[in-house]
Amino acid sequence: MKDGIILIDKLAGMTSFGVVARVRRVLSQQQGKKVKVGHTGTLDPFATGLMILVVGKECKNAGSYSKLDKVYQATIRLGQTSTTGDPEGEITDISDAVPDINEIEAVLAKFRGAIFQRPPIYSAIKIDGQRAYKLARQGQTVEMPEREVTIHELTVINYNYPEINIQAHVSSGTYIRTLAADIGAALGTGAYCTQLRRISIADWNVAQADTLADMGVID
């Protein structure tokens, strides 16, 4: 491939930049010259699922892909919070209250449609030219401005306390880690996201994607 897109099913534990670097290396080796490769939106290291990579001249169109709607499946753990909103942060016990499914459905209803969301400080958003997560790791105070996002669909797949499995169809810029924390706050239990998988981006589905192993990447 010289110009176009590649669909990758990212594994947990790898950064999005790491995925790009590995694919760039393989394509460059195949073509005997350095190949330009970029991503169209990061996935957290703990997350899995669909990434759209742009190759060659298609890199100039990366922004158009990043603006597309996405569908995620996530596991939310009630009763605790995390400083990062995921398993990698400092976990704090908040409550042992056990909400019933009706309470959960009532809270989820409040998050459907257009909402304002404050992205997590541990994110790749740039603040004054620097990544927010780098500033946070340095112990600096990071003020994240709220942004309007749209939750098109938000459904419970399964609930077995303390875990809720959800599926969310969301606009670009929506953070599922923040959504999980906000749901926990609304329930009064606290919550964080323990698992996250991106299922689709617009009409592209993770079922169409290759893994790095499929591409011959061996680490």
Of the listed 3, 9, 44, 210, which one is catalytic? 44
Q: Is 16 left (phi over 0), alpha (psi -120 to 50) or beta?
A: alpha
Q: Exposure of 59 by Cβ count < 10 A (0-12 exposed, 13-18 middle, 19+ buried)?
A: middle
Q: Is 179 left (phi over 0), alpha (psi -120 to 50) or beta?
A: alpha
Kindly state the DSSP code that residue 210 receives in the 8-state scheme: B
How much helix, strand and coil, in percent to the nearest 5, is found in the chain? 25, 35, 40
Euclidean distance between CA atoms 26 and 33, whole angstroms: 10
Q: How many CB atoms lie within 10 A of CB 148?
A: 10
CA torsion through residues 4, 69, 174, 79, sign: negative
69 is catalytic: no
The catalytic residue positions are 44
